Each structure stands twice: as structure tokens, then as C-alpha cells.
Structure 1
Amino acid sequence: MEERQEHKVLMAREALKKASKDVEINPNSGADDGGGESPSMKALLELETGSEDLFSGDPKLSALSHLLSHLKALASSLRSQSSSNNSGGGGRRGGGYLRLLLRRRFDGRSEISRVAGSIGSEIQSWLDREYADHLIAALRSQSSDDDEKIELLSALETRVSCGFDQGLQDVLLKADVYGAVEAALADKAVAKPVREHAAAAVLALVRFNKAVFVGPVLMGPAVGSIVSIASAATLRVLRGLITHIRSPLVDVLHSDGKIPKLIALLSSGDLEIRAAAFECCLEIGYFGRKEAIEAMMGEGLVKILMELQRSGEFPSSVARFAIQLEVGEGLRQREKRAMKLEVVRRVKEEAITGGEAGTVLTEVLWGSTP
């Protein structure tokens, strides 16, 4: 019952944020020609009416309370101006006064738009704090419903995907949202779908601000947990992390001994997992340093890729990997030449027929040529 009530409160605040946006876009809603307010303006003014009781216990909401009071005063002033305009006043001198009044009215609406935008920002900060607290409480509670956890994690992913926001970052750091998400990801007792959404949230946080969240990813259990879950969803997250963090992330995979696990997933009975693992291998080929590439080779990567290519699942898979090595960022030029020769050697060893060897080697040697 309490959780449902909290959800209703959050939805009400979302509605208020939308109302502030409507007023910001259309400040004419402050007082229309009939002297009334739009539903959006009414919602904000009703919030102001109860603000003393609602905001009294939270000093963080003092700015919102002040803005709502200012909006109420502006709306009242605009109504008064509208009433004065409708009461008439003719003649030239009256016409000049009317033009001045209309100009002042326009300026009042501009101020309403500005204040409404500020109100929307304050409500968003309020929502961010509430969502962060709710998410952490749900993730740390064994009694919380998995669907609720997934919904909250998805909301976090959506929110941080809107772009960088300093206020939001402050909320995330103060509440230690990353720590709660990482703990859920690493906890094997947590349901797999929840852990998958936690992994997606980790990637979203890295995209939100690499400078802040890459360090915790590299130093904590997130990467190992993502590999150990070994689902198509988490492997897609892993690929995204490799793309964004590059060589340092591959270094972690290698030093933590996770590369053999990734290579083994290329032989999974699930096609979606095999495909996601292959994409990860391609990214490692592009960003990985010599030691990581050698580890992949040592796990029989070329042999497995030839088997996949032979089955028709991943055409030109060996050449695609070789091209990643050749054009990538992880290897020095002489290392690229040495690795390409190593791929050629292994292709010759693993080929069943001379024709197969010739076909694959042609792709490897010339596949990167436009």
C-alpha cells in the first residue's frame, strides 16, 4: 500500500513538471482573454496554495516555494492588466496608454514563461531526489517486487540518457546511486532480469559522464558480473562499455581472466548469445592491446570463428576480426603485422581443405581493401 502511494505521488509530480512546461511554452495560459487560467496554470497555483505545509519540512524546496509565489503574483498581475484592458479607454491618449499596457502585458507573459521554466527545473530536481531514494530503497530491500526494481532501473536509464545535467549528477553522487546499482548487478541472489537492467543502467551512467563513472566501473565488480551473467543483454552492455571506455576496459577483462569466458560463449547453444559475444570480440580486437589479443588467440578464437563461418552463421568472421586488428587502436604497427601473420598461420592450420584456406586467406589479406 505504501509503495503504491509513493508511486502515485511521483506520478503527480511528473504531471506538475509537465504543467510547468506547458505554461513555459504558452505563457498566455497565465490569464486568457476570458480572465481564467489553463488547467496547467491552475495545477501550479494549487501547488502554491498548499506549499507552506508541503515544503516546510524540506529546505531543498524553498526555491520552488519562492518561484511558485512569484508565479502566483505574476498571474494575478496579468489578470489585473487584462481586466483593465477590457474596461476600455478610447481616444488617442487612451490608445497610447493601451499600447503601453499591452507591451507591459507581453513582458509579464515573458516573465511567466521564465519562471515556469525555473519551476520545471526545480520540480525535476525534486523528482530526481525522490526517484533516487526510491530506487536505492527498492534495490536494497529483499521484499521489493522485481517488476518495481526493473521499472525504477529503466527510469534511471531513461533519465540519464537525456544528456548531462549537473543537478542530476549531484543527486546521483550524493545518494550513491551507482553503488546501489552495482551491488544489485553483482548479487547472484538477485533475479537475472533485474541484474540485466542494472547492467544497462551502468552503461547509461558511463554515457552520462565518463569522467565520473568510468573509474568505479573499472575498479569494481561490474565488468566481471556482466560477463558472468552471460546473457545476450549483458553482452550487448559489455560491448557498449568497451566502445566507450576502450583499452582500459579490455585491460580489465584480460587481467581478471574474463577473455576465456567470452571466447567460450562463441560456442553457446543460443544464437543471440553467440552473436553478441562475437560483437564483443570484434570490439576487443579493435581496442585490445597485445596481451589481450594473444589471450584470445590462445583460446582458439580463429578455430572457433572458422567453425562459425563454415556453418554459415557469421560470413567472413575471420576476416572481420583481422580487419579490426589492422585498423584498430590497441596495437602498434609492428604488432598489427605480427598478429595478421598469426591469423594467417592459424587459418592454414584449421582449414579443412585447401579451397577453404584459400577463400579465408583471400578475405583476411584483402578484405580491408575498399
Structure 2
Amino acid sequence: MEKRGAEEADELETHQPLFKILDAVHRVSHDSQLSHNSLDSDSDSSAIKALLELRTASTSILSANPDQSSLSQHLSRLSELVQERRNSKPPSYGVVSFVTRRVRSHEVSRLASEIESELNALIDRETVSNLTNSVSKLRRSSELSDEDQLLDEMFVLQNRLSRGFDIDFQHLLLKSKVFAELEWVLCNPLFSNRVREKAAVSIKELVLFNKDVFVGSVLVGGIVKALVSMGCSCSLEILSTLIKAIKSPLVDEMESCGGISKIVGYLSCDDMETRVRAMNCIMEIGYYGRKEAVEAMINGGLIKKLVELQRLEMGFGKCVARFGVQLEVGEGLRQREKRAFKQQILHKVREACVCDAESATIVAEVLWGSSPY
């Protein structure tokens, strides 16, 4: 929680001037709504206070962004509207004044909404450009320094992607070629593992943001091979997520680059979390994998490893049967292939077991099935 809080604080610091303007606009709009039917001056005073803060913040940020002329004009107009609404409230509180204030309040709300959209678009552009500019500098540099800044910028991008699909943001992502920049970071072994993992998470979030757009980039590049080669719990978890999202085509790519046997090998890793993530990945491969992928797992000694894990570790109970169920209910195999692989699994189980009792137990579990993983 402390780490996440620090990352969120970094994001706020990155866009602090813009967030100040956004906050002030929110308060102006909110106070305008409160004063629709109010005869109290408190709401107006609050709006004026927010307006003063808005002027101060907008002056500093827009001076650094002279191309934001439209936004600057809208902010100036918002200031005028708030002041006009305040001036339209004479001591008599007449009907004309009331109607005028209602109209002014509506204009304030409408204009504030437009400004919020412009500010969010500006924040989006800065989010992407900051990241791509940092990676571009690293490409030209002889040393991969300032990893903390790169980590912060990738976190900001992930946070933005988590808010869901937006067509304008998608156009911005495609135009910036940020996916290719993140792929370069992930596939570059000179970066530390924490940076490569963060790049992998960002790539995963891009795929989940819009699978139709980014799936092709995952399959044709070196992303799958890089994730498999990293062999850590984070990369294996991301692989599992990508398999769920992309399904059989991703498993095909894993099989073609020799990744299946490596995933099976990670079941023997000393780190428990890595073994668990590898198991999850294998279950997803079993569900979505075609004949060649399943053959690669079985021929790579998968069943023997599963029997050993089931024998020695509580967390892998009935894992052989669970794998069999994944093949049975999965999408990647034909019915005759499922039947053939079930017989292979039973044969491999009998070879791997150390006694008849163990063999009989696991064979029965496979034959009768288990709960899907």
C-alpha cells in the first residue's frame, strides 16, 4: 500500500499544475450549482476563491504551453462568467436577477465541462509524450540511467489505461507509437528486471485497453519470447493474462519460439511463487492450446513434474487431474485429440508414480475428473 501511495503521489507531482487547474474548475462548477437557488453569499465567495486560484494556476501552466490558446480563452471566459453571475445579484434579489443568475450558472457549468475535457486531453498528451520522450532519450544514450523516472511515467500510463477505453486516447497511443517503445524496454536485457516488468505490465494494460488494436503487435514482435525468457512470477502472470485475452494465437506463438518447454521447466524453480505462476500459465495453455502446444508440454516431461508436485506440495493437490480437465473442457483441441491426450496422460502417470497406490489414486482422479482450474 505504501508503494502504491508513493506512485500515486508521483503521478500527482507529474501533472501538478494541470491538476490544480482541474481542481479549481471543479470547485467553480460545483459552487455554481450550489448557488442556483441560494441567497447566501457563501457559495459565491467560495467560487471567487477558486477563481483566484484558477487564474494563478492557469497563468503559470499556460505560459509554458503557448499553443493552448483555446484553453486559455475558455479559462478567461469562465472567470468573466463567474464575476458576471456575482454582479447580477443585487440586494433586492429580483426575478430578473434570479433568471440571469440561472442562465449564468448554466453557462459556467457548460464551459467548465468543456475546460475539463480539454485539460484531461492535455494530461493524456503529456502522459504519453513524457514516456516516449524518456525512452527516446535512452535509445540515444550510451547508459540506461534514471530508471526511477521511467518507472513513474509507466505507472502514470497504466493508471490512465485502467480508466477504460477512450477513442481519442487510442488515437493518441497509436500516433505516439508508445507500444513499440515499451516493447524495446521489455526486450532490452540491459534494463533492470523491475523496469522490464513494469514495461510488461504496461504492454498488458494496452492489450486489455483494446485487444483488436494491440494483439497483432504482441504476436509479431519479441514480446512473448522476452516474457518467457524472464521466467519470473510477474512475467508468467502477465503471460497467463495475455493467453486469456489472445487465446490460441498467443499459445501458438509460445510454441513456435520454444517457450512451452521453458514454462514447464519453471515448475522446478526454487521460488514457490514462480512455480505457482508457471502452473497457472500451463493451465491456460492446456485450455487454449492446440495439438502442437499440448504435445510440447507432455513431451517436455510435464506429467512427471505434476506428479512430483502433487506428491510433495500441498498447494498442487490434484494438479494432474486439473490439467486433464483443462484439456477436456478447453477450446484448442478436437474431441479425438482430447481422448488421445487423456490416454497419454494416464500412461505418463503410471510411469511417474512410485507405487501402485499413488498410481491408482491419480489415475482415478484423471478418469473421473476434478474441478476446473
Choose which of 326, 334, 337 in structure 1 pairs with 2:336. 334
What amino acid is the match of 2:122?
Answer: W
2:282 paired with 1:281: yes
Alpha-carbon spacing, 1:100–1:361, altered in 2? closer, same or farther (3 Å): farther
8 Å CA contact 1:48, 1:72 repeated in 2: no
- Specify the alignment match of 1:92 in structure 2: none
Q: Deviations over 1:197-238 (max 9, x none)?
A: 000000000011111111111111111111111111111111
8 Å CA contact 1:48, 1:69 repeated in 2: no
8 Å CA contact 1:318, 1:364 repeated in 2: yes
What amino acid is the match of 2:55?
Answer: L
Q: Deviations over 1:19-46 (max 9, x none)?
A: 3334444434789715432544333333
**TM-score calculated relative to the size of structure 1:** 0.87
8 Å CA contact 1:203, 1:241 repeated in 2: yes
Alpha-carbon spacing, 1:8–1:362, altered in 2? closer, same or farther (3 Å): closer
2:290 paired with 1:323: no
Superposition CA RMSD, Å = 2.4
- Specify the alignment match of 2:272 in structure 1: 271
2:242 paired with 1:223: no
TM-superposed deviation, 1:327: 1.0
Alpha-carbon spacing, 1:67–1:273, altered in 2? closer, same or farther (3 Å): same
TM-superposed deviation, 1:353: 1.2
TM-superposed deviation, 1:52: 7.0
Q: Percent identity?
A: 39
- Specify the alignment match of 1:33 in structure 2: 41
Counterpart secondary structure, 2:316: coil
Please list every run of 5 or more consecutive structure 2 residues that lacks an aligned counterpart in the other structure.
1-10
Choose which of 81, 89, 99 in structure 2 pairs with 1:74. 81
Counterpart secondary structure, 1:158: helix
Distance (Å, rounded) in 1 between the aligned partners of 2:344 and 2:333 = 14
TM-superposed deviation, 1:155: 1.3
- Specify the alignment match of 2:193 in structure 1: 192
Distance (Å, rounded) in 2 between the aligned partners of 1:369 and 1:263 = 22
TM-superposed deviation, 1:49: 5.3
Distance (Å, rounded) in 2 between the aligned partners of 1:210 and 1:40 = 41
What amino acid is the match of 2:269?
Answer: S
Choose which of 6, 10, 14 in structure 1 pairs with 2:15. 10
Alpha-carbon spacing, 1:357–1:215, altered in 2? closer, same or farther (3 Å): same
Alpha-carbon spacing, 1:50–1:328, altered in 2? closer, same or farther (3 Å): same
Counterpart secondary structure, 1:330: coil
- Specify the alignment match of 1:46 in structure 2: 56
How many residue pairs match? The answer is 351
Alpha-carbon spacing, 1:8–1:369, altered in 2? closer, same or farther (3 Å): closer
Alpha-carbon spacing, 1:74–1:209, altered in 2? closer, same or farther (3 Å): same
8 Å CA contact 1:325, 1:331 repeated in 2: yes
Distance (Å, rounded) in 1 between the aligned partners of 2:346 and 2:305 = 14
Q: In terms of mean alpha carbon deviation, does 100-109 or 293-302 score higher?
A: 100-109
What amino acid is the match of 1:134?
Answer: N
TM-superposed deviation, 1:75: 1.0
Alpha-carbon spacing, 1:297–1:366, altered in 2? closer, same or farther (3 Å): same
